[in-house]
Amino acid sequence: MADGEARIERDGWTLVFPARLSELPARTGRELVEQALQAARGEAGGPLRRSRHASTYQLFIGAPRCETEIFVKVLDAPRAIKRALGLLTGSRAERLLKIAGALEATGFAIAPILMLGEQNPGGRTMIVMARVPGEPLPRYLRGLSGMPQRKREVLRALGVEVARLHRAGFIHGDLTPYNIFIAAGGSAAARFVFIDHERTERPRLVWQRRKLRNLVQLCRFELEGMSRTDRIRVVDAYARASAGGRRRLVRRVASMLRARRVRDGAADPVEPAYRGLWRNPA
């Protein structure tokens, strides 16, 4: 961890508070620690979401006068080979702080990190984040029912923002719709916040396929209010904002997406929407 950051040892965890974000009142900070540890012990009820390698809990601290919503993500202990690699590349918490700082320095909004924790050497990792403004992409799209023009504008802007992320050299580790928040209202331009950066990277050399995997992650989910054509619309906007052949790029993503959806057991892959897109890409 970086010098100057407050840290404490509790219940086998090393808990670190990034210096620039340690502005919570002392009482609220103690409550945050207690509730986060309860979540890690499985004493805070069921998780809000359970992914392949982590559980995310939604908690409220500072009640009743100044209630603050926080999210506690507890990552499972890494396998032996990743623990060994961590000796060379740093812990997951260290890598997250580094990439979060690089994202902010490049002009991307991130979820404020309130606390990080490492459970003994090579154990689980805890990430405590404040809520970001706006709504997750699936909920935001549901709210655009009956506003097709606004939806198209937001989806095109999303494709452009992903292209901006890649031009800056970042590859998101898990760019699903649930890791994208949108803050926008009325005619205001959409503002995007990508969350969950524990696997985000900024490699020196990036193969195009790794970039396109982010688009596959984003487009492979069936979402209410997001049709097949809408998903390809995101990819088309990304292609327009990126260097290289637009038609070839969209075709390649469609092929990768179709293969992924077949592996997932999904019927009716994206190809039918792709075929008609070039005749009417509005």
What is the percent of the chain where pLDDT is above 70? Answer: 83
Give residue 201's pLDDT: 93
Q: Quickly tell me which residue has 């689980």 as its tokens.
A: 124
DSSP secondary structure letter of residue 189: P
Q: Is residue 46 classed as helix, strand or coil in its secondary structure?
A: coil
- Burial degree of 145 (CB within 10 A; 0-12, 13-18, 19+): exposed
The CATH T-level fold of domain 6-130 is Phosphorylase Kinase; domain 1 (3.30.200)
**For the chain, what are the domain ranges?**
6-130, 135-277
Give CA torsion, residues 169, 104, 85, 196, to 10 deg.
Answer: -100
Q: How far apart are CA 50 and CA 47, in angstroms?
A: 6
Report residue 58 as tokens.
């939604």
Q: Is residue 252 classed as helix, strand or coil in its secondary structure?
A: helix
Give residue 279's pLDDT: 38
Residues 249-267 pLDDT 10s: 888 888 888 888 777 775 4
The answer to whether residue 209 scores a pLDDT higher than 50 is yes
Give residue 185's pLDDT: 62
DSSP secondary structure letter of residue 24: S
173-175-181 Cα angle (round to 5): 125
Report residue 267 as tokens.
């019927």
- Decide: 129 and 21 in contact? Cβ < 8 Å: no
Element (H, E) at 238: helix 228-241
Residue type, 29: G
Q: Is residue 279 classed as helix, strand or coil in its secondary structure?
A: coil
Q: How far apart are CA 234 and CA 111, in angstroms?
A: 23
CB atoms within 10 A of CB 209: 10
Element (H, E) at 128: strand 125-130
SS3 content of the chain, % helix, strand, coil (to 5): 45, 20, 35
CB atoms within 10 A of CB 182: 22
- Comparing 21-35, 72-86, 152-166, which segment has the lowest mean pLDDT? 21-35
The answer to whether residue 82 scores a pLDDT higher than 80 is no
Give residue 154's pLDDT: 93
What is the percent of the chain where pLDDT is above 90? Answer: 38
In CATH terms, is domain 135-277 a member of 1.10.510? yes
Give residue 89's pLDDT: 65
The answer to whether residue 274 scores a pLDDT higher than 80 is no
Total residue count of the chain as it appears in this document: 282
Report residue 186 as tokens.
């009325």
The string of DSSP letters for 157-181 reads HHHHHHHHHHHTT-B-S---GGGEE
- Decide: 182 and 154 in contact? Cβ < 8 Å: yes
Please list the residues that pair with 68 across neighbouring strands: 61
Q: Quickly tell me which residue has 């006068």 as its tokens.
A: 65
Nearest CA to 174 out of 73, 87, 59 is that of: 73
**Averaged pLDDT score across all residues of the chain:** 83
pTM of the complete model: 0.83
